[in-house]
Amino acid sequence: MVSETSVRPGPRGQAIIARDEAIMSSSMQPRYPFVMERGLGARVWDVDGNEYIDFAAGIAVTATGHSHPKVVAAITEQASKFLHIAGTDYYYDIQVRLAEKLAAIAPFNDEARVFLCNSGAESVEGAVKLARWYTGRQNVIAFYGAFHGRTMGALSLTASKVVQRQGFGAMVPGVHHVPFNNPYRCMHGREESACRAHCICADFIEDVLFKRTVAPDSVAAIILEPIQGGRLRRAGCPLCPAIA
């Protein structure tokens, strides 16, 4: 058992961060100086024995908390049977069972089909490919402030921070960004009550985009996060410099 340190991160954490900075790609953005050792539910401990409450939950993906006994048991059981057999090339029961469960809770009325993939960016890539293929259309509408991932297609939809796109050349064509409606931090600088009464972001698609640059029947998909993780603040509005 490591005892808590007054300086955070403590010496063990500082040593790992120094090694990380020497060996990991310099494209990794500066991170929070927390060096995790273990977690249990919503509690986490760093390598120096300091305890924290985890409000991040693996950026909202560890919904059952850390090391939930049922999750650990399921992973252990599966690992003892086999680790990997490409689901794109072969069949296996657990893939079908997961797909059936996901289809049963899919939030739409049509019969659901399931495509499993490895990451958020890959799922975004797959969604855009599917929408383009199915509709035969090219254009996709995304929102300022959005973060959809770092692969070229997902990055083309991302409009969170310039540094994420800077230096990577031309993006995938056919992506059109529009203002994101966020009454609490309206990017046009409007008061929350005015924004809730009449959202001019929603109007932007019909009154500006569809009238000036993009034919409505050329749009394959609109992609948005219900809550933006990397949203713009008022001062960052690219459309309203006078308000900034």
Ligand X SMILES: Cc1ncc(COP(=O)(O)O)c(C=O)c1O
Stretch near ligand X under the rule CB under 6 A, chosen from 26-34, 72-80, 120-128, 176-184: 120-128
Tell which one of 120, 183, 189, 236 touches ligand X (CB under 6 A).
120
Measured CA to CA, the distance from residue 157 to residue 174 in angstroms comes to: 10
Longest dimension (CA), the chain: 65
**Position of minimal CB gap to ligand X:** 120
Q: Would you say 55 and 43 are in contact if contact means Cβ atoms under 8 Å apart?
A: no
Residue with tokens 């006078």: 242
In order, the DSSP letters of 81-112 are H-S---TTTS--HHHHHHHHHHHHT-SSSSPP
Residue 28 touches ligand X, criterion: CB under 6 A: no
Buried b (16+ CB within 10 A) or exposed e, 137-164: bebbbbbbbbbbbebebbbbbbbbeeeb
- CB 217 → ligand X: shortest distance, Å? 27
Binding mask 43-82 for ligand X (x = CB under 6 A): ----------------x-----------------------
Tell which one of 229, 233, 235, 243 touches ligand X (CB under 6 A).
229
Q: Look up residue 39 and give its amino acid.
A: G
Tell which one of 149, 180, 187, 201 touches ligand X (CB under 6 A).
149
- CB 151 → ligand X: shortest distance, Å? 7
CA angle centred on 67, ends 61 and 70, rounded to 5°: 100
Cβ closest to ligand X, residue 87 vs residue 120: 120
Number of neighbours of residue 22 by Cβ within 10 angstroms: 7
- CB 197 → ligand X: shortest distance, Å? 28
- CB 116 → ligand X: shortest distance, Å? 13
Cβ closest to ligand X, residue 45 vs residue 147: 147
Contacts to ligand X by CB under 6 A: 59, 119-121, 124, 147-149, 225, 229
